[in-house]
Amino acid sequence: MAARTITFVTGNANKLKEVQAILASCTHLTLVNRKIDLPELQAASTAEVSAEKCKLAAEAVQGAVLVEDTSLCFNALNSLPGPYIKWFLEGVGHDGLNRMLDGFEDRSAYALCTFAYCEGPGKEVHIFEGKTDGSIVKARGPLDFGWDPIFEPSGFAQTYAEMPKETKNTISHRARALEKVLQFFA
C-alpha cells in the first residue's frame, strides 16, 4: 500500500509530538506538519469546531489535512468547560478549574478528542472521536501541556502529566480518536 501524505495542522508542539508518537508504527501514513493561523472557532461541540477548522485548513493547504480539537468536560457542570477549555485554562489556570468544582460532590470528568480529516477543498469531512473518563484533581506533574496535570483517568492513580508518555499514548482520548483515524485509512 502506498503511503498517504497528510498535513496535520497544529501550532502546538506538544500535541504534534504526541500524535507523531501514536502514529509512529503506521507505515501507510506520512504526517507532515504545518502551522496555519486559523480562526479560533467556538461552538457547542468539538465535532463542529473540528469540521469547520478542517474545511478552512484544506483550503489553505490545497490538499489532505487532519485537524484536532479537544474538550475537557466536567460532569457536574453539564460538560462545561467542554470545547472552551483552552480559554478557561488561560483565564483561571489549573487551580481555578479545580475551584469551579468546589461545592460539588461530583468531580468526574471526561476528555474528548475530535479529529477531522478532509482530502482537500470541497471534499467530505470525516470526524473521529475518542473519549477517556476520569476525574479532576489538584494539579500534579509537569505543568507544560494544557490541563494534563489536573486530569486523572479512571483506573489510574496518576494524572496525564505524571504518566510516562508511552502509557498516556495508549489510553488517552487522543489515542482513542487516532485509533479510529487509522481504521479509516486501513
List, for residues 123-138, the tens digit of each pLDDT value: 999 999 999 999 999 9
147 marked as part of a ligand binding site: yes
Q: Is 165 annotated as a binding residue?
A: no
Residues spanned by the domain of 96 = 4-185
How many structural domains is the chain composed of?
1
Please tell me the pTM assigned to this model: 0.90
Asked whether residue 12 is marked as a ligand-binding residue, the answer is yes
15 annotated ligand-binding residue? yes
Q: Is 177 annotated to bind ligand?
A: no
77: cell is 457542570
At 67 the pLDDT is: 95
Compare 41 and 102 and report the one with higher pLDDT.
102
- Helical H runs in the chain? 13-23, 46-61, 85-99, 165-171, 173-185
C-beta neighbour count of 71 within 10 angstroms: 25
Q: Is 10 annotated as a binding residue?
A: yes
CATH no. for residue 51? 3.90.950.10
Is 146 assigned to a binding site?
Answer: yes
Which residue would you say has higher pLDDT here, 25 or 161? Answer: 161
Tell whether 17 is in a known binding site.
Answer: no
